[in-house]
Amino acid sequence: MKLLLAEDDAMLADALTTQLGGAGFEVEHAPNGAVADYLLGKQRFDIAVLDIGLPMLDGLSVLKHVRQTQPALPVLLLTARDALDDRVAGLQAGADDYVTKPFDFPELVARLQALLRRSQPASASALLGRLSLDAASRRALVAGDALELSGREWTLLELLVSQQGKVVTKEQITQAWSAEGGETGGGNSIEVYIHRLRRKLEDAGLVIRTVRGLGYLMEAEA
User: What are the residues binding another protein (CB under 8 A)?
Assistant: 9, 11-12, 14-16, 18-19, 22, 53, 80-82, 84, 100-105, 165-167, 169, 209, 211-215, 217, 219
Question: In angstroms, what is the minimal distance from the CB of 60 to another protein?
Answer: 16
Residues 6+ apart with CB under 8 A from 179: none
Taking Cα atoms as reference points, which of 13, 1, 2 lies closest to residue 101?
13
| 3-class DSSP state of 99 | strand
Q: Decide whether 135 or 159 has the Cβ nearer to another protein.
A: 159
Q: How far is the CB of 12 from another protein (least distance, A)?
A: 4
CB of 71 to another protein, least distance (A): 29
Based on CB atoms, which residue is closest to another protein, 84 or 136?
A: 84
What is the per-residue DSSP string for 42-88?
HS--SEEEEESS-SSS-HHHHHHHHHHH-TT--EEEEESS-HHHHHH
Which CB sits closer to another protein, 31 or 67?
Answer: 31
CB of 31 to another protein, least distance (A): 13
Nearer to another protein, 165 or 186 (CB): 165
Percentage helix, strand, coil for the chain under 3-state DSSP, each rounded to 5? 40, 25, 35
